[in-house]
Amino acid sequence: MTVETQLPQATGSCCSPSGSCHDSAGGDSASGAVTTVYQVSGMTCGHCEGAVSEEISGIKGVTSVKAVASTGRVTVVSDAPLSEEDVRAAVDEAGYELVGATA
């Protein structure tokens, strides 16, 4: 005999039924945040991820950075679109090369 329990629906969640917290344009329309994914070459480990994240986090308006060495992708959330020159300078300071923003 099995008993099925129906859990109450969560209220106040930013997530849609599809499980996505962000619209397809890459921004968070509720807060005005902008999410941009950059390709960075040369990262090979967690230390690399930390160095790139730390430098990019220093750019004014950046609220979140997640670097993944295995893919070379760095996801940056900011209050407004960032200057690619600023991101390139931060990545260069960390010792890596910014390939550019991904589509």
DSSP 64-98: EEEEETTTTEEEEEESSPPPHHHHHHHHHHHT-EE
The rounded distance, in Å, linking the Cα atoms of 13 and 79 is 21
Domains by residue range for the chain, with CATH: 42-101 (3.30.70.100)
Mean pLDDT for back-to-back runs of 10 residues, the chain (103 residues): 40 37 43 93 97 98 98 98 97 97 85
List of residues 6+ apart from 102 with CB closer than 8 A: 37, 38, 39, 73
Sign of CA dihedral 95, 48, 60, 30: positive
Q: What is the pLDDT of residue 19?
A: 39
List of residues 6+ apart from 69 with CB closer than 8 A: 43, 44, 45, 46, 48, 49
Q: What is the pLDDT of residue 31?
A: 65
The pTM for the full model equals 0.70
Q: What is the pLDDT of residue 103?
A: 72
Q: What is the pLDDT of residue 101?
A: 93
